[in-house]
Amino acid sequence: MKAIKQLKALAGTVVIAASAMLAGCGGSDSADGALKVGVIAGPEADVMKVAAANAEADYGVKVELVEFSDYISPNMALADGSIDANAFQHRPYLDSMVNDRGFDLAVVGNTFVYPIGAYSNKISDISELKDGARVSIPNDPSNEGRTLILLHNEGLITLRDVNNLEATPADIIENPKNLRFIELDAAQLPRSMDDVDLAFINSTYSVAAGLLPTRDALLVEGKDSPYVNIIVSREDNKEDERIAKLVKSFQSEPVEAKAEELFKGGAVAGWK
């Protein structure tokens, strides 16, 4: 996976391995009173480092980043009090997790839209997709539905209900190209490209793998996508002033500039 240049100057931000954090007991209290924020390792974490530096410089709020490599653990850690907030998901995914697991979580701010795109090592145009092609897609409920809706809108499949944000391949009623779907964890999708004809990858992972939505995607969501990512807290700490200051620090020009540097047009500010 393509290495992302680390931000050297942000000494005030401490990055903690998720495995070490989760191995501890008790709540999220930090020795220095820092706010613990869960992020996905990679470029999204680098963007949050800028917000964390802003929070300390402008408001005196120290932020510790807790890095995760999957989409399940950040909400579990938030719900059990191991962290204070997280920033990695869009609202349909949060709603799905809340409905499935009963988490008492709250949305406190918007971050970016990271559009899903379709990438291939085997074809250069979507019109070249052959009958029976193998297509890898995210296996989490909302991102899988998001991908299938994109395929529906492109006329490659027909869904029973295009408004069903949690559609699965079982909801496809027409599949004229007999596409074969392989459901994978989002982090595995870039590595699947040699084994499939088409892979649908979120910008979080595509950019880290050297794939840019504006340059390499054969299909990509538009900038008006409703899947804006969000900053999430628990209901019991959503009024914490440190969280409000983190949101203000994130929704800033330096953060937007860092996202543009890393995502090359693959991250669209969701707070404007």
pTM score, two decimals? 0.70
Note the pLDDT of residue 30.
61
Q: Go through the domains of the chain in sequence order and give each one's CATH number.
A: 14-114+227-269 (3.40.190.10), 116-220 (3.40.190.10)
One-letter amino acid at 191 equals R
Beta-carbon contacts of 221 under 8 Å, excluding residues fewer than 6 positions away, are 113, 115, 116, 117, 146, 150, 227
Structural contact between residues 131 and 175, judged by C-beta atoms closer than 8 angstroms: no
Burial class (CB in 10 A: 0-12, 13-18, 19+), 105: buried
- Count Cβ neighbours within 10 Å for each residue of 154-193 and write b for 16 or more, e otherwise: eebbebeeeeebbbbbebbeeeeeebebbebebbebbebb
The continuous run of DSSP H or E covering 203 comes out as: helix 203-208
Nearest Cα to Cα of residue 119 among 223, 41, 210, 222: 210
Residue 27: the pLDDT is: 54
Q: Scan for tokens 């969701």, then name that residue.
A: 270
At 206-231, the pLDDT tens digits run 988 999 888 999 999 876 677 899 99
> Which amino acid, 137?
I
**What pLDDT is attached to residue 264?**
85
SS (H, E, C) 64-122: EEEEECCCCHHHHHHHCCCCCEEEEEEHHHHHHHHHHHCCCEEEEEEEEECCEEEECCC
Three-class DSSP category at 41: coil
Which 3 state secondary structure label does DSSP give 272?
coil
For each of the chain's 272 residues, which pLDDT tens digit applies?
Answer: 333 333 333 333 334 444 444 444 445 666 578 999 999 999 999 999 999 999 999 999 999 999 999 999 999 999 999 999 999 999 989 998 999 999 999 999 999 988 899 999 999 999 999 999 999 999 988 789 999 999 999 999 999 999 898 899 999 999 999 999 999 999 999 999 999 999 999 988 998 899 988 899 999 987 667 789 999 999 999 999 999 999 999 999 999 999 999 988 888 898 98
Q: Given this model, what pLDDT does residue 143 score? A: 87
